[in-house]
Structure 1
Amino acid sequence: MIASTILGFDTLVASWASSVYSSAVDPVSQEFHVGTVVSLLGLTLYICGFATGPLACAPLSEQYGRKYPITIAAFIFRKISRHAYCAFFAGVMASCPLAVVGGAFSDLFGNETRGIAIASFSAMVSVGPFISPIVAAFITESYLGWRWTQYITGIMGALATVLDVLFLEETYQKTLLQKCAQFIRSETENWAIHHVFEEELLDFNDLVHNHLALPSRLLFLEPIVFLITLYTAFIYGILYLFLEAYPVVFAEYRGISSSVSTLMYIGLIIGVLIGGWIIIAFEPRYNRLLRVNNGIPVPEERLPPMMIGFLTGAGIMTIFLQALNYLVDAYLVAATSSIAANTFLRSFFGAGLLATQFFHNLGVDWAGSLIRFLAVAFMPIPFLFYIFCERLRKMSRYTFTDLIKPQGGDEEAPSGKVE
C-alpha cells in the first residue's frame, strides 16, 4: 500500500508538471517578447522528453529494479524542473515513474486485483494534467506570478525524492532475490551462496541490443503494441489539445478571464473519475472470466470499457487505461517495456506546439468539428481490437499468457481464451 501511494504521488508530480506551464505561456510570451509558438516550447519539449525517457528507464528498471531508476529520476527532476530551458530533460526524468509503474504494479498485484489497483491509481494521477492548469492560472494572475508555477513543481519533486529515498521499497522479484542472496552471504560468510540472476554477465552490447532496444522492437515489430499505441496516441493528443484549446475557446472567443476559463477543466476531471468508476465496475466480470480461464490472463476482456468511451473525460480514462491494462496482461514479462513503447509514440502526439494556430486558422467551429470527425472514424477500433487482437497475440514472441499451465491437474491450459 505504501509503495503504491508513493508511486502514485511520483506519477502525479510528473503529470502535474506536464501541463502546469500551459497557463504561463502568455505571460512568458509578453515578458520575453517572443511569439506564442516559442513560449510553448516549454510545454512541447517537456512532452517530447516524456517520449524519449521511457526507452531507457523501462529496460533499466527490468535489469536493476524499480526503486533506483525512480529515485534517481526524482532527484534530477527536483534540480532541473524549475528551469524552462531544461524542460526536455525534466520530461525525460518525469517519464521514469510513468514507464516503470506498470511493471511495479504487475509486481505488487495479482491478475484479479491489478485492474482495480491501476484504475484507482490512474484516476488519481489522470486528474493531474487538469488540476495544474487551474491552480497555475490563479497563481499566474496573483502577485506570485508565473514563476511560482515552476517553484511549486520543484517543491513537489523534492518531496517525491524524500519519499522515494526513505519509504519506497523495491518490488522487482529479480532484484529482491539478488539482495536476499547478498544478505545470506554476508550473514553466513558462505560466499558460494548466490542466485542464478547473479550469474548473468551484462556487457554494453547486450545492454543496448537486448534491453534498451526492447521497447523499440515491441513498438515496430509487435502489431498489437503498434496499433494500440497509435490509438492511444490519438487520445493523448486530444488530451493535450484541450489544454491549449480551452483558453482559446473560452478566454479569447467568449471573453472569459484566463483564470476562470480554466475551470472548464473540472468537467474533464469529473469525466476521468466517472471513467475510473466504469473500469472498476467491469472488474467483477473480468475476474469471473479469469477464474473460468484457470487464472490465465484474458487480455481481450480488458477492452469492453473502451467500447463505451463516448464521453470526453470518461472516454480518455476508459480507452487510455484499458489499453495499458491490456498491454500489462498480454506482455507480463515485458510489461514495462511495452508501456514504454506506448509512452514513446503517444507522447509525441501530445506535444501540442501548433494547437493554438490550429484553432486560430481553422476557427473554433471547424477545428472542433475536425476533431469530432476523427473521433467518429476511430470509434470502431476497440471493437476491431476485441475481435482480432487474440489472433495477433498468438503470433507474438513476447506474450506468454498462452504458455501458462493451470495449477493442479494434467489438463492443458486454454490458449488465453474463454470458451
Structure 2
Amino acid sequence: MGVSDLIRDSAFGHLVRLATGNKYLTYAEERDPSLWKKYVNEVKSRNFAHHGHAGDVSDDDAGTREARHVSEDSEKDLSDSERPGQPKEGIPNLASGVKLDPEKGRDIHLIDWYGPDDPENPRNWSHAKKYFVTFEICLLTLSVYIGSSIYTAGLLGVMEEFGVSQVAATLGLTLFVAGYGLGPMVWAPMSEIPFIGRNPVYIGTLVIFVLFQIPTALASNFGMLLAFRFLTGLFGSPVVATGGASIGDMYRPQKQAYGLGIWGISAICGPVLGPLVGGFAVEAEGWRWSIWELMWLSGFCLVFLFFLLPETSSANILYRRTRRIRKLTGDEKLKCEPEIMGEQMTGKDIVWMVLIRPISLNFTEPMVFLLNLYISLIYALLYIWFESFPIVFVGIYHFTLGELGLAFLGILIGVICIIPPFFCWLYFHQEKQFNERGEIQPEKRLPPAMVGGFFVPICLFWFGWSARPDIHWIMPIIGSSFFSVATFLLFQSVFGYLADAYPDYVASVFAGNDFMRCGFGAGFPLFAAAMYNRLGVGWASSLLAFLGIAFIPIPYVLYVYGGRLRKRSKHARKDF
C-alpha cells in the first residue's frame, strides 16, 4: 500500500492537484503519455459503433472474444479528428476499426479498466490498502453513530436547564435518528453519481457535522438544541447508508460479508459506547460536555479522512481517469460507461430514484416490506435500550451515570462473541455456494437470520425478568448481550439478501430501509419510558419479546417461497 497513492486520491490530494494544475501527485498516464492507449477497450468501442451500447449482441463472435485494448504500438491514432464533410456512416470508429452503424452506432472510444488486474480498480487493491480503508469507514461510522446515544447521558441535565419533560428531552435523541433516516434519501443516490463519487459526500457532510456541534453545545434555548440535533443527524447520515456500499466497492461478492461484518461491529459500537463515553463527562462537567466530546471525536476523524481516505467508487475512478485522458489527448470521443449512463439520466430520473423509488419499492415489494419491518423492529429496540437501561440500572441497582454507561458493554461483548462463528460459517459453508460468476441465490443468505431471530425474545425475556433487586445486576447485562447477537445476524443476512435480490435497485432499497428503520428508531423511545414505568420492566420487555416472536417466521417464509416471489416481482432478480 503506497501512502502517496492514498494521499493523492484523498480530498487533500485532489485539492493539491487542482491548485498546482496537476503537476504534483500525478497518475501513471500523466507521467508517461503513451500509457493511456491501453485503457481504451476495443471490443466495447466496437459494440458502440455497431449497436450504440457497450454490451455484445448476437454477431459473429459475440460473447466469445475477451475485451482487448489498444496497444502502445497500435497504428490507430485515436486523437485524429473527423475529416470535414465526411458523412457519419462513412467514418470508421478508430478504436475498433469498424464503420458506424448509420442508425444505432455511436462513435465512442471507451475508457475502461485495462484488464482484470488494473490496480486502480478498488477490488484489485492490496489487502493492506483494503483493510486500512475499511478501518477508515469504520472510524467514520463510529464517530457519527456515537452521536445519537452520547446525548442520552445528559438527558437529566437538559430537563433541568430548559425545564422540559423527559419525553420532550428525548426528542434530542429521536430527531437525531430521524435525520439519519432522511439524509440517505439524498446522500446515498448522490454518491452513486459518477462525477461526484463517495468522498465529496463523506467529507463535505462531515465538515458540516463537526461545525454544527458548536451551536448544539452552545444552544441557548431548547428549540435551538433540537434544531441542531436534527441537522447534525441529517449531515452525519451518509455513512449510515453508504458505508456498506464503500465496503462492497472493495471486496468481491464472496468476501463482502467479512468486510460488512467488521463494519457492522462499528455500527453497533457507536450507540453502545455513547452512554459510556458521555456518562462520566456529564457527571463531571454537565450535558454540554458530551457534545464537545462528539465534536472532538468527529473532528479528529475529519482530519484523518481528509488526508488519507481514497475514493472507492469505481464509477468515479473511471470517470476521473477518462477526464485526465481527454485532457491529455484532446479527444472528446473518449468516454467511460458510467459517464455515458450519467449523461442519459434526466432530472425526472433523479427525482424518481431519490424520492419515489425507495418508498415505492418498500410498499409494493412484499419481500422488501417484510424484511424492512423486521429490521425496523430491531433498530427500534436498540434505541429503547437507552430509555430502559436507566430505569433498570439506576432505578433498581442504583448505578451512577458513569456506571450506567458501563452496563451497555454487554451489548458490545455479544457482537464480538458472534463474529468468530459467523465468519467460520461464511468460510466453510457460504463461500462454496457462489457460482463461477461470484453470484449466489439470495435465499442462501437467510440462515443466519433464521437463527438470529430467536435471540430477540431470549434477550428481552432474560433482561426483563432478571432485572430485580434480589438478582445480581450482571444477569440483565448478560441478557442484553443476546440482543447484539440477534442484531448482527439479522442485519448481515437481510442486507445481503436485499442486495442480491434487487441488484439493479440496491441504492433505492437500502435508502428505503434506512428511512423506515430510522422512523421506528426515532418513534419508539418517545413512549418507552412510559411503557416501562406503567407495565414494569418484566411485562414491558415481554410485550416486546412477543412482538419479536411474531417476526421469527419471516426469514423462514422467504427461504421457502422467496424464489417464487422474485419471479412474480417486477424488480427482483429472477435468474436463480
TM-score by length of 1: 0.90
Question: Is 2:434 aligned against 1:290?
Answer: yes
Determine the structure 1 residue equivalent to 2:451: 308
Task: Return the alpha-carbon distance in structure 2 between the equivalents of residues 266 and 53 of structure 1.
Answer: 29
What does 1:132-171 align with in structure 2 at a 5 Å threshold? 132-142=274-284, 144-171=285-312
Task: Return the alpha-carbon distance in structure 1 between the equivalents of residues 172 and 408 of structure 2.
Answer: 21
Task: Return the alpha-carbon distance in structure 2 between the equivalents of residues 399 and 389 of structure 1.
Answer: 10
Name the CA shift for 1:395/1:81 in 2 (closer, same or farther; >3 Å): farther
Q: Which of structures 1 and 2 has the bigger CA Rg? A: 2
Determine the structure 2 residue equivalent to 1:178: 319
Deviations 1:108-144 (A, max 9, x none): 11111101111122113312111111121111112x3
Q: Relative contact order: is structure 1 or structure 2 higher (C-alpha 8 Å, sep ≥ 6)?
A: 1
Question: Is 2:517 aligned against 1:374?
Answer: no
Name the CA shift for 1:333/1:67 in 2 (closer, same or farther; >3 Å): farther
- Counterpart amino acid of residue 234 in structure 2: V
Task: Return the alpha-carbon distance in structure 2 between the equivalents of residues 182 and 349 of structure 1.
Answer: 44
Task: Return the alpha-carbon distance in structure 2 between the equivalents of residues 296 and 112 of structure 1.
Answer: 8
Aligned-residue Cα RMSD (Å) equals 1.9
Query: Is the 2:566–2:572 Cα contact (8 Å) retained in structure 1?
Result: yes
Report the more deviating stretch, 175-184 or 308-317.
308-317
Point out 4+ residue stretches in structure 1 off by more than 6 angstroms: none
Deviation for aligned residue 1:202? 4.3
Counterpart among 150, 160, 164 of residue 34 in structure 1: 164
Name the CA shift for 1:211/1:42 in 2 (closer, same or farther; >3 Å): closer
Query: Is the 1:75–1:157 Cα contact (8 Å) retained in structure 2?
Result: no
Deviation for aligned residue 1:196? 4.2
Deviation for aligned residue 1:329? 2.5
Task: Return the alpha-carbon distance in structure 1 between the equivalents of residues 213 and 425 of structure 2.
Answer: 38
Task: Return the alpha-carbon distance in structure 2 between the equivalents of residues 307 and 101 of structure 1.
Answer: 25
SS at match of 2:237: helix
Determine the structure 2 residue equivalent to 1:268: 411
Deviations 1:20-56 (A, max 9, x none): 1111111111122211111111101001111111111
What does 1:376-415 align with in structure 2 at a 5 Å threshold? 376-400=549-573, 402=574, 415=575
Query: Is the 2:185–2:354 Cα contact (8 Å) retained in structure 1?
Result: no
What does 1:171-250 align with in structure 2 at a 5 Å threshold? 171-199=312-340, 200-250=343-393
Determine the structure 2 residue equivalent to 1:68: 200
Name the CA shift for 1:392/1:66 in 2 (closer, same or farther; >3 Å): farther
Determine the structure 1 residue equivalent to 2:179: 49
Query: Is the 1:102–1:335 Cα contact (8 Å) retained in structure 2?
Result: no
Task: Return the alpha-carbon distance in structure 2 between the equivalents of residues 107 and 256 of structure 1.
Answer: 44
- Counterpart amino acid of residue 554 in structure 2: I
Counterpart among 268, 275, 281 of residue 126 in structure 1: 268
Deviation for aligned residue 1:187? 1.5
Task: Return the alpha-carbon distance in structure 1 between the equivalents of residues 147 and 238 of structure 2.
Answer: 13
SS at match of 1:353: helix
Deviations 1:351-407 (A, max 9, x none): 11222112112221221121122122222222222212222223334444x4xxxxx
Name the CA shift for 1:218/1:70 in 2 (closer, same or farther; >3 Å): farther
Query: Is the 2:139–2:266 Cα contact (8 Å) retained in structure 1?
Result: no
SS at match of 2:384: helix
Task: Return the alpha-carbon distance in structure 1 between the equivalents of residues 511 and 540 of structure 2.
Answer: 31
Task: Return the alpha-carbon distance in structure 2 between the equivalents of residues 281 and 137 of structure 1.
Answer: 36
Name the CA shift for 1:384/1:359 in 2 (closer, same or farther; >3 Å): same
Q: Return 5+ residue gaps in structure 1 as ranges.
A: 403-414
Determine the structure 2 residue equivalent to 1:23: 153
Report the more deviating stretch, 78-87 or 104-113.
78-87
SS at match of 1:65: coil
Task: Return the alpha-carbon distance in structure 2 between the equivalents of residues 81 and 388 of structure 1.
Answer: 48
Query: Is the 2:498–2:506 Cα contact (8 Å) retained in structure 1?
Result: yes
- Counterpart amino acid of residue 109 in structure 1: Y
Name the CA shift for 1:325/1:313 in 2 (closer, same or farther; >3 Å): same
SS at match of 1:208: helix
- Counterpart amino acid of residue 304 in structure 2: L
Query: Is the 2:140–2:301 Cα contact (8 Å) retained in structure 1?
Result: yes
Deviations 1:58-103 (A, max 9, x none): 1111123222211111111111134133111111112111111222
Query: Is the 2:441–2:500 Cα contact (8 Å) retained in structure 1?
Result: yes
TM-score by length of 2: 0.66
Query: Is the 1:102–1:328 Cα contact (8 Å) retained in structure 2?
Result: no
Determine the structure 1 residue equivalent to 2:209: 77
Q: Would you say how many aligned residue pairs link Structure 1 and Structure 2? A: 401
Name the CA shift for 1:146/1:289 in 2 (closer, same or farther; >3 Å): same
SS at match of 2:503: coil
Deviation for aligned residue 1:198? 3.3
Question: Is 2:514 aligned against 1:343?
Answer: yes
Task: Return the alpha-carbon distance in structure 1 between the equivalents of residues 276 and 178 of structure 2.
Answer: 23
Query: Is the 2:247–2:260 Cα contact (8 Å) retained in structure 1?
Result: yes
Determine the structure 2 residue equivalent to 1:111: 253
- Higher helix proportion, which one? 1
Name the CA shift for 1:211/1:379 in 2 (closer, same or farther; >3 Å): closer
Task: Return the alpha-carbon distance in structure 2 between the equivalents of residues 164 and 334 of structure 1.
Answer: 29
SS at match of 1:194: strand
- Counterpart amino acid of residue 25 in structure 1: L
Deviations 1:267-298 (A, max 9, x none): 1111122233332122121111114x753222
Task: Return the alpha-carbon distance in structure 2 between the equivalents of residues 193 and 312 of structure 1.
Answer: 53
Task: Return the alpha-carbon distance in structure 1 between the equivalents of residues 312 and 535 of structure 2.
Answer: 49
Task: Return the alpha-carbon distance in structure 2 between the equivalents of residues 114 and 399 of structure 1.
Answer: 21
Deviation for aligned residue 1:203? 4.1
Q: Return 5+ residue gaps in structure 2 as ranges.
A: 1-129, 217-224, 456-481
SS at match of 2:559: helix
Deviations 1:200-220 (A, max 9, x none): 154432321244433222222
Query: Is the 1:103–1:335 Cα contact (8 Å) retained in structure 2?
Result: no
Name the CA shift for 1:212/1:65 in 2 (closer, same or farther; >3 Å): farther
Percent identity over paired residues: 31
